[in-house]
Amino acid sequence: MSSWSNHLPALQVIVPMLTAPLVLLLRPSGLAWAATTIASALAFAVAIALTIGVLDGQSFSYLMGAWPAPYGIELGVDAFSALVLLVVTGASTVALLAGRESLNLEIDAHRQPMFYAAWLLALAGLSGIPVSADAFNIFVFMEISALASYVLIAGGPDRRALPAVFKYLLMGTIGATFYLIGIGLIYLMTGTLNLADMELRIHEVADLKPILVAAGFITIGLALKAAVFPLHVWLPNAYAYAPNAVTVFLAACSTKVALYLLLRFDFFVFQPNLAGHDVQFAYFLMPLAALAILIGSSVALLESNLKRLLAYSSIAQVGYILLGASFVSLSGLTASVLHIFNHALAKGTLFLAVACLTTRCSGLRLENISGAARSMPWTMAAFVVAGLSLIGIPGTAGFISKWYLILAALNEGTVGIVLVGVIVVSSLMAVVYIWRVVEAAYFGDAEAGGAAHREAPPALLAVTWIAALANLYFGLSPSLPLALSTSAAETLMRHVP
């Protein structure tokens, strides 16, 4: 193993984190954007290098300051974290590349350096969580990313973002506090913060009641962060009123990181140590997942603000990810992890298309985009491709994860068949809500809509199309995310007794 590749996990966080204060100093806003984008692209490159290493069978473990674990802080990367890192850094890079023009419209030039610094901190925090093997370190990264995200969401010109972000702040803080209480309890009983060490030390604990309480706190806390139904109320407005580029970035990855942590913590620490925990885990999360899927999709059916519509669809998609995990089976977890990747692709592309629409339309209600497809055929074509992926049509990435999810559900007997019904019904609802957008844009009256007769800016459109083509590519040749998610599921299942 070459020596430089050992440092990749640390670089993953250090690059964006150290660029953040530098960006503050770059006054002409173009430079700030360029520096941020370069740092984000570098982080993406690091994530790709890590992924290649992981696929080669390399395992990354990095001891901060060379202090041995469990006393020092350990960083580690396996297939699961590599996949999440790809999503986080990829989403950030794509959003930055696409978002230059729309961010210029939305954020005053003199505030831009601060905004981009916050962006980099959010990126550092979100990528810090997957690389950390230490529960408290994760908490710190979680707070960094959360505080930075509040700034990003509130950074736009839309004043409605302020109450939205206040709600997000309250709920997010409660979530983080719950998580901290959970870790505190475990630390009290085991004296360690290293996840791998916790798994071993809990064996020695005589009274498991505090651990059980900790499991409750951590699960609820992270479920809040991940917008698991019914703890999702912060999400729709936060996505809807944030600047468009921020929505692309956060919608693709922020809830995914919380879900990653939820699964990692649960499978690494609690599944091997708490008797019957797999059943509790399944019984607790499966109904919530099914409800999230059905209710999220139903609300999306009725929603007429495009961004809120997509946000409610995200709540349903979180449900899919959780549903796969709640089977506590290899195939279920594969589907779940795969859907983290595929949904990020689909939803990221959809929000990119929305960003395209924003540059030319007077608003984002369905009547505002009426007839937009006539003046913006490329934008809407990309929207349709991503929409098909969201629905799960063969040939797109969304199909692959739904296929695995159904495969996993059918292993669950009668309950599984009911759940397949849930998946099918909600996919049909997705057809309807995507169709409502298509209907407005393709068949609506162009005179009534506020669309200017121009296609979106070329740079934005090009990035949108790259993302749309990625949906098709990973739908026809899904070996990369599939290899990562299979390996991730195997790692997780190894901890289930």
Partner 1 sequence: MSAGHTILLILALPVAGALGIALAGRIGANLREAVTLVCATALAVIVWGLLPEIMSGERPSFTLAEVVPGIDIAFRVEPLGMLFAALASGLWIVNSIYSIGYMRGNRETKQTQFYAFFAIALAATMGIAFADNLFTLFLFYELLTLSTYPLVSHKGDTKTLRSARVYLGVLLTTSIALLLPAIIWTYFAAGSGNFTSGGILAGKLEGPAVGLLLGLFVFGIGKAAVMPVHRWLPAAMVAPTPVSALLHAVAVVKAGVFAITKVVIYIFGIDFLASESSGNWMLYVAAFTIIAASVVALQQQNLKRLLAYSTIAQLSYVVMAAAILKPLAEIGAALHMVAHAFGKITLFFAAGAIYTAAKKTEIHQLRGIGRRMPWTMAAFTIGALSMIGVPPTGGFVSKWYILAGAFDAGSYIAVATIVISTALNAAYFLPIVYLAWFARETSTPANDHGEAPLAAVLALTITAALTLAFFFFHQPVLELATQIFRGAP
**Binding footprint of partner 1 on the chain (CB under 8 A):** 374, 384, 391, 393-395, 400, 403-404, 406, 410, 424, 427-428, 431, 435, 439, 442-443, 445, 475-478, 482
> Which CB atom, from 195 or from 400, has the smaller least distance to partner 1?
400
| Helix residue ranges per DSSP H, 266-396 | 277-302, 306-326, 330-360, 372-375, 377-391
> Which CB atom, from 51 or from 370, has the smaller least distance to partner 1?
370
> Which CB atom, from 187 or from 442, has the smaller least distance to partner 1?
442
> Which CB atom, from 214 or from 346, has the smaller least distance to partner 1?
346
Per the document, the length of the chain is 497
Say which residue the tokens 């692709």 belong to.
Answer: 345
How far apart, in whole angstroms, are the C-alpha atoms of residue 300 and residue 432? 9
Helix (H, G, I), strand (E, B) or coil at 34: helix
CB of 394 to partner 1, least distance (A): 5
Phi, psi of 145 (to 5 degrees): -65, -40
> Which CB atom, from 71 or from 443, has the smaller least distance to partner 1?
443
> Which CB atom, from 108 or from 445, has the smaller least distance to partner 1?
445
CB-CB contact of 371 with 449 (8 Å):
yes
Per-residue buried b or exposed e for 137-149, using 16+ beta carbons within 10 Å of the residue's own CB: bbbebbbbbbbbb
| H helix or E strand, kind and range, residue 9 | helix 8-25
CB of 7 to partner 1, least distance (A): 35
CB of 470 to partner 1, least distance (A): 15
> Which CB atom, from 73 or from 385, has the smaller least distance to partner 1?
385
> Which CB atom, from 9 or from 475, has the smaller least distance to partner 1?
475
CB of 431 to partner 1, least distance (A): 5
Q: Which amino acid is residue 149, in one-letter code?
A: S
CB of 26 to partner 1, least distance (A): 43
Q: Which of 376, 357, 345, 356 is nearest to 453 (CA)?
A: 376
Per-residue buried b or exposed e for 424-434, using 16+ beta carbons within 10 Å of the residue's own CB: eebbebbbebb
CB-CB contact of 489 with 334 (8 Å):
yes
Greatest Cα pair distance in the chain: 73
Q: Which amino acid is residue 50, in one-letter code?
A: L
> Which CB atom, from 284 or from 473, has the smaller least distance to partner 1?
473
> Which CB atom, from 363 or from 395, has the smaller least distance to partner 1?
395
| Helix residue ranges per DSSP H, 107-243 | 112-131, 135-154, 161-190, 195-201, 209-225, 235-241
CB of 172 to partner 1, least distance (A): 37
CB of 371 to partner 1, least distance (A): 9
CB of 429 to partner 1, least distance (A): 11
| H helix or E strand, kind and range, residue 325 | helix 306-326
CB of 179 to partner 1, least distance (A): 35
How far apart, in whole angstroms, are the C-alpha atoms of residue 50 and residue 82? 6
CB-CB contact of 70 with 192 (8 Å):
yes
How far apart, in whole angstroms, are the C-alpha atoms of residue 491 and residue 218? 21
Helix (H, G, I), strand (E, B) or coil at 219: helix
CB of 381 to partner 1, least distance (A): 9
